Amino acid sequence: MLTIGKLGEAAGVKVPTIRYYEQIGLLPEAERSAGNQRLYGRKAMERLAFIRHARDLGFTLEAIRDLLSLSDRPDQSCAAADAIARAQLAEVESRLARLTALKAELERMVVQCAGGKIADCRVIEVLGDHSLCATDHRHPETELAQ
Amino acid sequence: MLTIGKLGEAAGVKVPTIRYYEQIGLLPEAERSAGNQRLYGRKAMERLAFIRHARDLGFTLEAIRDLLSLSDRPDQSCAAADAIARAQLAEVESRLARLTALKAELERMVVQCAGGKIADCRVIEVLGDHSLCATDHRHPETELAQ
DNA sequence: CTTGAAGCTATAGTTGCTAGAGACATTAAG
DNA sequence: CTTAATGTCTCTAGCAACTATAGCTTCAAG
């Protein structure tokens, strides 16, 4: 049995994060030692690794909650898991497209900066006047988030 | 003079967001009408457009605060503005690299899903066992944030 | 003059943690 | 066996950048 610190070390997750996952119900309530400290076995370790990996892949905690409950029902169809993964892939692809456009615009901006005074600065100028922009990177809906 | 609703419409920014920007000092306190409603002129409109555009390019509000105060001093060197923009470009490039790796991993995952039962699902399996992964996409430091 | 939209303030919620305070537990050294 | 250092406990508050809600006032159209 591992204490919370060892578990965190093993899984690459910070201690308060583990307690947070327990608090929001992503991890079950841990067993406790005589002195009230959390103790974890292999099952908890695996579950935490699953969460960590999914987080690394950008899944939200909500999506992970769904994936975990799916993985607890091995006899069911995997369509739902597949759908969640595909949705995440679509998310990533759209963010990628957006970031690629941003990169182009930022590059244009910094390349044009001649290094003079603010009054002549292309960076400030472009930010102040959207019409100086090559690409239309305005997205009312799509969040930059995550 | 525009009311807050018209300004928001014109700049593509929601009304509560404008009030929020005022609250955190990104926009100056607006003039008020006899009935205590905010009124905005061309200067406020331009400042808000600047903020909006910079947000669209992924600058944080902190960076925008700096850029705005720079743009208020047109006689100074533009080096600082350039540095902020370059930092943002670097940020975007690193996120781009990371997302590209995620995309590859997610694609691998969904392609391998044969559509059977959860017990055989590659999505769940890969998430549960990091060693099944092609790429090492674990980043202790680099946040996925933004 | 009435009605409905738009404005006001203030507070709380969102996501996914992270940081702090103050108290108890455990472990290693002396 | 004691002490000191570290680890853990709970609880609360904070971060970014908004968004939503409640309950009120003001404005513009008919």
Estimate in Å the CA B116 to C1' D15 gap, whole number: 43
If you average pLDDT over residues B24-41, what whole number do you get? 97
Provide the pLDDT for residue A146: 38
Estimate in Å the CA B16 to C1' D29 gap, whole number: 25
Q: What are phi and psi of B40, to 5 degrees?
A: -125, 145
Provide the pLDDT for residue B139: 52
The ranges assigned to domains in chain B are: 2-59, 79-132
Q: Which nucleotide is nearest to B64 (CA to C1')?
A: D17
**Looking at beta carbons, which pairs linking A133-137 to residues 24 or more positions away fall under 8 Å?**
A133/A105, A133/B53, A134/A104, A134/A105, A134/A108, A135/A101, A135/A104, A135/A105, A137/A98, A137/A101, A137/A102, A137/A105, A137/B56, A137/B57
If you average pLDDT over residues A32-36, what whole number do you get? 96
Provide the pLDDT for residue B115: 73
If you average pLDDT over residues B111-138, what whole number do you get? 79
Closest-CA residue of chain A to B114: A78
* Interface test with chain B among A92, A108, A133, A138, by most B beta carbons within 10 Å: A92
Asked if strand C contacts B3 at the CB level, meaning under 7 A, the answer is yes
Provide the pLDDT for residue B140: 44
The amino acid at A94: S
Provide the pLDDT for residue B114: 74
Tell me the CATH number for domain B2-59: 1.10.1660.10
Provide the pLDDT for residue A145: 36
Q: Which nucleotide is nearest to A55 (CA to C1')?
A: C16
Q: How near does any CA of chain B get to the CA of A20, in Å?
A: 18
Average pLDDT across chain A, whole number: 88
Helix runs in A24-139, H state only:
42-56, 61-71, 79-112, 122-128
pLDDT bin (cut points 50, 70, 90) of residue A15 is very high
* Whether pLDDT at B55 is above 90: yes
Tell me the CATH number for domain A4-59: 1.10.1660.10
If you average pLDDT over residues A126-130, what whole number do you get? 85
Tens-digit pLDDT profile for residues A65-76? 999 999 988 888
Q: What are phi and psi of A74, to 5 degrees?
A: -70, -15
Q: Say if CB B54 and CB A111 are below 8 A apart.
A: no
Provide the pLDDT for residue A143: 43
In 3D space, the residue among B44, B55, B87 whose CA is nearest the CA of residue A138 turns out to be: B55
If you average pLDDT over residues B55-69, what whole number do you get? 94
Estimate in Å the CA B37 to C1' D24 gap, whole number: 14
* Whether pLDDT at A25 is above 80: yes
Provide the pLDDT for residue A142: 37
